[in-house]
């Protein structure tokens, strides 16, 4: 079967076609268009949704051409229903509903965060992992048990992506700022004292953000970036290690946009060695938001008989992933 996935939760509008033959999945195409806010500014939901609306038909047709497939041959259409920015989500949902209605195809609502987890497991072959989901929208440690993804640790306030982006924007970078901060931090080795806040299995980043912003005026930017990364990532690494010790999983899978950061991967790799755990990272081009995560999860859900009526295919901007019943796994 073939599934078309549509992703539009935040800055990325993306489509992808994934094929399933004999129980094996294959990504046939994956095309994205990313909204870029001006330097020093964050995602403006209205501007981002305008970008998505303008780019949607080009992205969709490029996706179908790259997959060498016609819409008529698609078996199911999956769209990202949340969590995310309402105006952005609505564009993807409108595209999904229109295509499903016009071509009389089944429609599947996919939770964007579950999409990250499922695609990560698909690409790495993870079987029963502890998952670290780190992105602009999430900083969570999860494991599947009794039909739901259970949270073993998370941020109590802002996410690690928000920490990096908001700090970056304060010093005039363009969002997303992670790559730029990583680049600058590699030019320093001078650790400045920043607040390190681990609360049991959870972290809190708001104090760190405030402190790092204050440091900018009186310190070298490279030093602040270096110290920010060292502190923030060490906090995540510690809670991951705590969660690993708590739930005895033999695999750690990292997914989400921040998974692209090399320093973080390096720290987690070290944690996994200490805890004798396999460390799994999906290919870097699938770390961030993409259509494939929606298409692949769409296939899994469709196979398990989970579909949405077009009249009820809404968006859910605050759809927490630990509320989703995972009925498509044994």
Name the site residues for other proteins (rule: CB under 8 A).
83, 137-140, 143, 145-146, 148, 150-157, 159, 191, 193, 196, 198-202, 230-231, 234, 237-238, 241-242, 244-247, 266-267, 270-271, 274-275, 317-320, 323
**Do residues 131 and 147 make contact, with C-beta atoms less than 8 angstroms apart?**
no
Structure-token pair, residue 233: 């990532």
CA 156 to chain CA mean position, Å? 18
The minimum distance between CB 120 and other proteins, in angstroms, equals 19
The minimum distance between CB 157 and other proteins, in angstroms, equals 6
Measured from the CB atom, the residue of 159 and 308 that comes closer to other proteins is 159
Tell me the β-bridge partners of 15: 6, 31
Tell me the β-bridge partners of 183: none
The minimum distance between CB 259 and other proteins, in angstroms, equals 16
**Do residues 238 and 190 make contact, with C-beta atoms less than 8 angstroms apart?**
no
Measured from the CB atom, the residue of 70 and 323 that comes closer to other proteins is 323
The minimum distance between CB 36 and other proteins, in angstroms, equals 24
Measured from the CB atom, the residue of 260 and 265 that comes closer to other proteins is 265
Q: Which residues contact 127 (CB under 8 A, 6 or more apart)?
A: 121, 251
Measured from the CB atom, the residue of 22 and 248 that comes closer to other proteins is 248
3 state DSSP class of 129: coil
The minimum distance between CB 328 and other proteins, in angstroms, equals 18
Q: Which residues contact 290 (CB under 8 A, 6 or more apart)?
A: 7, 12, 14, 16, 30, 32, 119
The minimum distance between CB 324 and other proteins, in angstroms, equals 11
**Do residues 17 and 62 make contact, with C-beta atoms less than 8 angstroms apart?**
no
The minimum distance between CB 18 and other proteins, in angstroms, equals 26
3 state DSSP class of 130: strand
The minimum distance between CB 279 and other proteins, in angstroms, equals 12
Q: What are phi and psi of 255, to 5 degrees?
A: -135, 165
Measured from the CB atom, the residue of 162 and 297 that comes closer to other proteins is 162
The Cα angle at residue 180 between residues 174 and 184, in degrees rounded to 5: 140
Measured from the CB atom, the residue of 31 and 114 that comes closer to other proteins is 114
Measured from the CB atom, the residue of 61 and 270 that comes closer to other proteins is 270
Structure-token pair, residue 45: 């939901």
Measured from the CB atom, the residue of 60 and 93 that comes closer to other proteins is 93
- Say how far apart CA 71 and CA 63 lie, in whole Å: 10
* DSSP line for 253-294: EEESGGGG-HHHHHHHHHHHHHTT-EEE---GGGTS--HHHH
Tell me the β-bridge partners of 34: 12
Measured from the CB atom, the residue of 270 and 285 that comes closer to other proteins is 270
Residue with tokens 């968006």: 315
The minimum distance between CB 260 and other proteins, in angstroms, equals 18
């Amino acid at each position: 079967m073939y599934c078309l996935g549509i992703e539009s939760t935040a800055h990325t509008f993306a489509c992808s076609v994934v094929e399933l033959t004999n129980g094996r999945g294959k990504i046939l195409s994956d095309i994205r268009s990313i909204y870029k806010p001006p330097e020093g500014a964050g995602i403006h939901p209205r501007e981002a949704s305008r970008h998505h609306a303008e780019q949607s038909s080009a992205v969709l047709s490029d996706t179908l051409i790259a997959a060498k497939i016609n819409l008529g041959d698609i078996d199911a259409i999956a769209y990202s229903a949340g969590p995310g920015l309402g105006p952005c989500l609505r564009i993807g949902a409108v595209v999904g509903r229109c295509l499903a209605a016009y071509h009389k195809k089944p429609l599947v609502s996919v939770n964007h965060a579950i999409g990250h987890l499922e695609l990560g497991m698909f690409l790495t072959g993870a079987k029963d992992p502890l998952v670290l989901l780190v992105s602009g929208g999430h900083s969570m440690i999860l494991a599947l048990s009794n039909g739901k993804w259970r949270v073993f640790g998370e941020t109590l306030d802002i996410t690690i992506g928000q920490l990096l982006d908001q700090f970056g924007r304060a010093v005039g970078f363009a969002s997303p700022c992670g790559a730029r901060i990583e680049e600058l931090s590699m030019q320093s080795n001078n650790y400045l004292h920043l607040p390190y806040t681990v609360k049991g299995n959870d972290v809190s980043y708001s104090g760190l953000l405030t402190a790092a912003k204050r440091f900018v005026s009186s310190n070298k930017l490279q030093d602040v970036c270096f110290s920010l990364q060292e502190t923030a990532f060490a906090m995540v690494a510690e809670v991951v290690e705590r969660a690993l010790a708590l739930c005895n999983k033999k695999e750690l899978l990292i997914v989400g946009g921040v998974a692209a950061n090399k320093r973080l991967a390096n720290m987690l790799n070290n944690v996994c060695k200490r805890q004798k755990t396999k460390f799994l990272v999906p290919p870097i081009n699938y770390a961030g938001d993409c259509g494939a995560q929606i298409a692949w999860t769409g296939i899994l859900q469709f196979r398990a008989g989970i579909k949405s009526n077009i009249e009820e295919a809404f968006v859910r901007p605050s759809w927490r992933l630990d509320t989703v019943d995972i009925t498509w796994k044994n």
